[in-house]
Amino acid sequence: MKALLPVTIFAVLCAGTALAECPAPASTVNVPDGNTATMQEMLAAQSAVKTYDADVKAFAACLQTEQDAAVAKGGANMTESERTAINKRYTEMQNVEVDKLKKVADQFNAALKAYRAKNPPAPK
């Protein structure tokens, strides 16, 4: 029974604080169809992607702060297995958001390529 209490406390710390303290950024970037988009629509999408990128970076920094705090709370009594579990949990949360960002960036890059093909620069 004594061994179960630290595991329970550890699980609550990992699950509860990560979700409460660091909300994941909204990934509501509207990437227009590059074949039909206007320059203004493409510029707006570019700005939204840059904002989303900054939000994901801020989320990662927040997660790192939480991860460090969770490890510090465990103190000297924390086993290496518990520390590894905390690190894994936070890494997984960050990777989910980075993967979403990569998909949005890939969509934008494809739209930009299509836009540039339809709207080549004027000759000099």
Residue 4 lies in a domain: no
**24/80 Cα distance (integer angstroms):** 27
Query: According to the model, what pLDDT value does residue 88 have?
Result: 95
The model's pLDDT over 14-48, given as tens digits with 9 standing for 90+, comes to 444 444 489 999 888 999 999 999 999 999 999 99
Residue 104 lies in a domain: yes
Residue 17 lies in a domain: no
Residue 107 lies in a domain: yes
Residue 2 lies in a domain: no
The model's pLDDT over 54-80, given as tens digits with 9 standing for 90+, comes to 999 999 999 999 999 999 988 888 899
Residue 74 lies in a domain: yes
Distances in Å between the alpha carbon of 122 and those of 69, 116, 118?
Answer: 55, 11, 12
> Over 90: is that where the pLDDT of 6 sits?
no
Q: Which domain holds residue 113?
A: 34-118
pTM for this one?
A: 0.77
**89/62 Cα distance (integer angstroms):** 14
Q: Which of 90, 85, 92 is nearest to 11 (CA)?
A: 85
Residue 5 lies in a domain: no
Query: According to the model, what pLDDT value does residue 54 have?
Result: 97
